[in-house]
Amino acid sequence: MKRIGIIGSGAMGNGIAQVCASAGCEVLVYDHDPVALEKARQQLSAILNRLLAKSKLNDEQAAAIRQSVRFVTAMDEFADRELVIEAVIEQLDVKQRIFTEIENIVSLDCVLATNTSSLSIASIASACNRPERVIGIHFFNPAPLMALVEVIPAVQTWPDLAAKVRAWVESLGKLPVLAKDTPGFIVNRVARPYYGESLRILDEGIADAAVIDHAMVSLGGFRMGPFALMDFIGHDVNYRVTESVFAAFFFDPRYKPSLTQKRLFEAGYLGRKTGRGFYRYTDGGLPEERANHSLYHRSDPQLLERIFQRVLAMLINEAADALHYGIASKEDLDLAMTKGVNYPKGLLKWADEIGIDSIQQIMDDLYDVYREDRYRLSPLLRAMSKEKRTFYGHKNERDDGT
């Protein structure tokens, strides 16, 4: 698949175009808005110029990418494409309308893909007369820098198409993981407790945002604390994904959004992009509250440890449940979290290091306190604890040595 069409000229569509062109593909980028297309063209040129200035590309490579990407305002030009990737707004009706239109333009064997981060691939595919050629190919932002790509077949998808797409993703120099078509796929499902449980700790007044961030960065080795990360992503994006996953899972309390974050979203305090979110941001982009390290020094080390253990246990529990329900393999689950959101370790490997019994104890203690289904332990973890199994090792010896 070398002739690629991309629908949507925003940051994601443009980034995917750059990735494909860098791998030798011939790329058409479509947008109905000529102004948006021109902006995308200028942004791609600016990115290539920066890469040239940093010697990450030579003149020949940059020229080849420029020649390989063409911006078009007529979707009819996609008639000869072998693969079309939709990268527009996260609204199901919009995506379905696009797939209905593009199906009547491309050839019968053209693969149709959506870059959705959380919507049902089956629902998008249902808009097509030939839903079997529809698949999810979820790049992470910024696409040129992020190695991970989630490949998500729908229930209608041709059985061999996922393997074909996975090989194509590898040809781009990316790392594909295979995920079942469930809400949030791998990353946006498994990562929810990083935000959700941190918000719960904040809402309960146990600690403030800066202290919780400090706990996760200093003890867990995460690159960004949950509140700094939500501000970086933007609450218009992060809150909406949480809300979408919550609804898609039939309002399972494990994914329940926070009213605190909702109020920030409603107020337009979206994080760094607006200068205010959980933190207020200076002109240089540094959170003002985090510039004052006295907060950290006043923090009780035992409190920091409790925060870290609670959030990490919830993350591991979510990853284990994803494995329990066959969302992905253990290897792909761990790869997704280290390469998709830069976690310091794969969560299932981390569980082996900490000990399954320890995770079970933390989760059971939380359930005893709250008596909420939110804190139910994954059946897989309970079974593994009972049978003395680990995710990556062999069955542990019994205490009596037999």
What amino acid is encoded at 188 in this protein?
N
Q: What gap in Å lies between CA 177 and CA 338, rounded to an integer?
A: 12
Catalytic residue among 115, 118, 188, 317: 188
- Pairing between strand 134-139 and 148-153? antiparallel
Q: Among 325, 320, 310, 306, which residue's Cα sits nearest to residue 364? A: 310
Eight-class DSSP state of 287: B
Report the residue count for the chain.
402
Output the pLDDT for position 300: 87
Give the other-Cβ count within 10 Å of 193's Cβ. Answer: 25
Output the pLDDT for position 144: 95
Q: What gap in Å lies between CA 360 and CA 142, rounded to an integer?
A: 36
- For residue 275, with 0-12 CB atoms within 10 Å meaning exposed, 13-18 middle and 19 or more buried, which class applies? middle
| 178 DSSP β-pair partners | 151
Catalytic residue among 86, 150, 197, 318: 150
Eight-class DSSP state of 293: T
> Which class would CATH give 188-387?
mainly alpha
Catalytic residue among 117, 120, 238, 317: 117
Task: List Cβ neighbours of 267 (8 Å cut-off, separation of 6 or more).
Answer: none
> What would you report as the CA-atom Rg of the chain, rounded to the nearest whole angstrom?
22
For 342-349, the CB contacts below 8 A with 24+ separation are: 342/223, 343/222, 344/220, 344/221, 344/222, 344/223, 345/221, 347/190, 347/315, 347/316, 347/318, 347/319, 348/316, 348/319, 348/320, 348/323, 348/391, 348/392, 349/391, 349/392
Count CA atoms within 13 Å of residue 208 on its CB side. 9
Catalytic residue status for 129: no
Bond before 257 cis per omega within 30 degrees: no
Backbone φ, ψ for residue 94 (5° rounding): -65, -45
Eight-class DSSP state of 396: P
Count CA atoms within 13 Å of residue 375 on its CB side. 18
Output the pLDDT for position 58: 93
Q: Which two tokens stand for residue 247?
A: 């609804």
Catalytic residue among 138, 198, 258, 317: 138
Question: How does pLDDT run across 247-278, given as a tens digit for each residue?
Answer: 999 999 999 999 999 999 999 999 999 999 99
Catalytic residue status for 331: no
Cα-Cα end-to-end distance for the chain: 55
| 6 DSSP β-pair partners | 29, 85
Output the pLDDT for position 289: 55
Handedness of CA 346, 349, 350, 351 (dihedral sign): positive
Contact 113, 86 (CB under 8 A): yes
Q: Among 129, 29, 150, 130, which residue's Cα sits nearest to residue 85? A: 29
Q: Among 187, 192, 190, 191, which residue's Cα sits nearest to residue 176? A: 187
Catalytic residue status for 45: no
- Topology of domain 3-181, CATH: Rossmann fold (3.40.50)
Eight-class DSSP state of 6: E
Output the pLDDT for position 393: 85
Place of tokens 């920030």: 264
Range list for CATH 3.40.50.720 in the chain = 3-181
Catalytic residue status for 138: yes
Q: Which two tokens stand for residue 281?
A: 């941001």
Range list for CATH 1.10.1040.50 in the chain = 188-387
Blockwise average pLDDT, block size 10, the chain, 402 residues: 96 96 97 94 94 93 95 96 96 96 96 94 97 97 94 97 98 97 96 98 94 94 95 93 93 96 97 93 65 55 95 98 98 97 96 97 98 97 96 58 34
